Amino acid sequence: MKVLLVEDSFLARERETKVLKNLGHKVVQACDGDEAVKLFKAEKPDVVITDLDMPYLGGQDAIKEIRKLNPKVPILVCSSSADKQQLMSAMQAGASEILGKPLDPNQLQTALSNARGRI
């Protein structure tokens, strides 16, 4: 699958990209929500994995914009946030699933398999 990975931390983005590639996925990287929306339009990924706390356009707003473009694409939120309200808001914005940080490869594989079933 083609995965759009949205993460503002360079180290986390590179680490998560390596995990995704090891699982056999093609990865397109974005460093904030604004870039994510532009890349979503251009690359048409099968699934989106996004952080929430990012500069320019945060993850929750990026989710809303991506949902306007494609209401069915699976969007996974990868966050270290313990703020339950923020996570609930992400789900209300259109996130399909919440994953914790750092990404656990087994949990990620399960989430991507579930996402594949929704495509």
116/85 Cα distance (integer angstroms): 28
Nearest-CA neighbor of 44 among 22, 23, 18, 72?
72
**Domains within the chain, CATH numbers bracketed:** 2-114 (3.40.50.2300)
Nearest-CA neighbor of 74 among 37, 47, 56?
47
Mean pLDDT by 10 residues, the chain (119 residues): 95 93 96 96 96 86 94 89 78 85 86 79
How many beta carbons lie within 10 A of that of residue 116, not counting itself?
12
Q: Determine the pLDDT at residue 7.
A: 94
28/8 Cα distance (integer angstroms): 13
Q: Determine the pLDDT at residue 119.
A: 59
Q: Which residue has the tokens 């929704």?
A: 118
pTM, entire model: 0.91
- Name residue 13's amino acid: R
